[in-house]
Amino acid sequence: MSRRVLVLTFLVYSSLAFAQYRTGSPKPEPALNTVREFCRQDFVGGRLTPEGWARMKQFVVWKDNPAWRAFRIVSRYEQTGEVDGYHSARISVEYQMVGTFEMGVGFTPVPYPESFEFKLKETDGAWKIESTDPERLDPHISKPRAIQWLQEKLKTTTDAGEKVSIEIALKALAPAQK
């Protein structure tokens, strides 16, 4: 009788120990969610303001919003691929471009898609974007948010060159918004 109890106890504890052991790759869903939320926040202009960046920095390993003089205007974005490791992941995102805006230069139409690869790492159960490829990731924002930002910037800028580039960009973007 005691031998049966001993064997049964051994099997129960072995099963419990094996159930705790994590095998294979982690589910990619948390990494996908991190990139999805980063892209959503970026699309609505999160990187354009300190308040927006405060909501976005939880998704990345870098502490400060990278400096930018240009942003990309996109109509939509889509996650197009993923490669998962145990504590790392790479997720591809394709943006449907409208154009770019650069201070002092203005708006340039870009009628083709653009792809970026987000490299993530998992630390203490949280997925964070570690880097992007290509490395420089300017903000990727919607056309309505770009128009709003340009209108606000036009009211506050004192630089004549910036004013002209913003006015030209607004003329190029506004008719297509209707």
**pLDDT tens-digit profile of 112-152?**
999 999 999 998 888 999 999 888 889 999 999 999 999 99
Query: Does residue 82 contact residue 89 with C-beta atoms inside 8 Å?
Result: yes
Residue 83 lies in a domain: yes
In our burial notation (b when 16+ CB lie closer than 10 A, e otherwise), range 100-124 reads bbebeebbeebeeebebbbebbbee
Residue 41 lies in a domain: yes
C-alpha span between 87 and 121 (Å, rounded): 6
C-alpha span between 59 and 34 (Å, rounded): 6
Residue 156 lies in a domain: no
pLDDT of 114: 94
Residue 106 lies in a domain: yes
Q: What is the CATH number of the domain that holds 88?
A: 3.10.450
Least confident stretch, 8-12, 61-65, 148-152: 8-12
Neighbours of 128 (CB within 10 A): 18
The pTM assigned to this predicted structure is 0.79
Domain span at residue 128?
24-142
Domain count, the chain: 1
Determine the residue type at 55.
R
